[in-house]
Structure 1
Amino acid sequence: MKTAGKKEATLITASVRIRIPFIVSVLFFFVSLQAYSQHSGRIEIYFRNDNFSLQPRSQKLLDSIAVKLKAGVACYVKVEGHTDSKGTAKANDILSKNRAETVAGFFEEKGIPKDSIVSEWWGMRKRKYRMESDSLNRRAEISYIIYNKLGTVVQKKEPEKKKETTPSEKRDSIAISKMKNVGVGETFAMNSVQFYGGTPTLLPGAFPVLDGLAEQLINNPTLEISIEGHICCYPTDEDNLSEKRAKTVYDYLVAKSIDPSRLTYKGFGHTRPLTEERTAEEQQQNRRVEIRITKK
């Protein structure tokens, strides 16, 4: 019994000896982190079918991210490669790996330390978009964290405000209220009528603006319009997503008792982008609908 007691005491002593340096090192690391602030972000880029070469637009977007990463004192980048549902699982695993490594290699060439980049590839196992938008699954997802020393950027904390109408919604409301002054053949953008990525599903902020559009059509019964849909990020619209988005707005207005004979809709794919899509916000702006006056 005494022998067992001695062994137990020895084990406890050893445990203390091991834990104290570990705890001290963890506390030192935690305290060190307090000297830094961090900024994180996430983007997606897209690839052509059965291809892992970066398109010019993707290179521009990645280059802008690389500049931000290099501006910090440290960074962390995670790149995940994906494919659509076409082809075999083995072939897609290889393709998604090539896509992830292409993006990682791009960052390394721009001066981002190799040990700051993590690459993963998932083949077709993590398809994010539905079958009608399967082409958007040919993608790489890039998540990043940028660390900066506290005090290098001073941001004045603004007092909390109640939620207000966004500038985009205000502009749309003004444009809709002045529809009768817009000439036949002219268009106005509805920037707040936006969609979830890769889908024809409206974001919640679109509904108040579309309700205003329906009201103006009801108040001006001779007005006729064309609803024009647009997409972001991918040069071709293989799934006709832009037209599906226009049709979503068409269906919404019909549900609001607008005569279908006063409405037409058409998709323009990615042929008329408003932005260069360097950020997620700019990508979102190209997922839009415009209204063209066809008759007054």
Structure 2
Amino acid sequence: MKTFVVILLSFISIKINAQMVNSVYFKNNSYELSQESKTKLDSVAQLKSNLTFRIFGNCDPSGNIELNRKLSENRADAVYVYLKNRIGNNIKLKSSVGLGIEKQINDNSTEDLRTKNRRVDVLIDKTFAPGEKISRKVYPNFLSTKISMMKVKDTFSLPDVSFFGGRHAWLPGGQLNLTRLSNILKENPTLQVELQGHICCDYDNFDGEDLDLKTFNLSWTRANAIKEFLAKQGIDINRIKATGMGHLNPVIYPEITEADRIKNRRVELVLIKK
């Protein structure tokens, strides 16, 4: 079984443009909150914007289906009860659901990956006024920015590289710019980059389902598809990191038109090393 990269799950920011997720983790077969988890939830409870929290419990596949479902419910309920006693009037606790093993982000080939599946995700939504819409400024184009002007940790866009809905295959128009990206990396062999995948539309989960692979890590499979393409072009894979960002940083939210959705189905680049 292929081992999936652990997706970024812990994300705290006072400024909330659309949605963010905060995750807490549990010991095997336990739903007791650790002190570290309580500290993290205390921080979440102090957020001041008008927000809605939705809580989803998860587990690894140890035990039978019914026990896993109940364990994930108990984990979700533990977080719900803890937050309920601490949040202000600006925060609404909307739901608490145990998913069992339905939507694991990682496989379970190592203990570290199993640990990442023993978690509760708190999805945090900003309350939008009727008709309100955000549109984030697009990052500079990696393909047209001079290497000398780039700074480590800067984020760049990869224009015209978008993906079919629910899939990690890019639309035909993206091939040209992916080839250009490959050529830039060949011409600048010291560059190292992180590919950050994004999705649209699925705001009931941290990440979306990859319809081809039947996994819930679509943002990562999109970034990894480009990594694999670059490797086939001769780029050393040690120069490329693939990360899934789910839908935490949309260009446009909420997505109303297909054009909006296409803009959010993207991969961005972060310069790691020059």
Q: What's the TM-score bracket when you normalise by the shorter of the two chains?
A: 0.3 to 0.5
Where relative contact order (Cα < 8 A, 6+ residues apart) is larger, the structure is 2
Larger helix proportion of the pair = 1
Report the TM-score, using the length of structure 2 for normalisation. 0.48
> Which structure is larger by alpha-carbon Rg, 1 or 2?
1
Report the TM-score, using the length of structure 1 for normalisation. 0.45
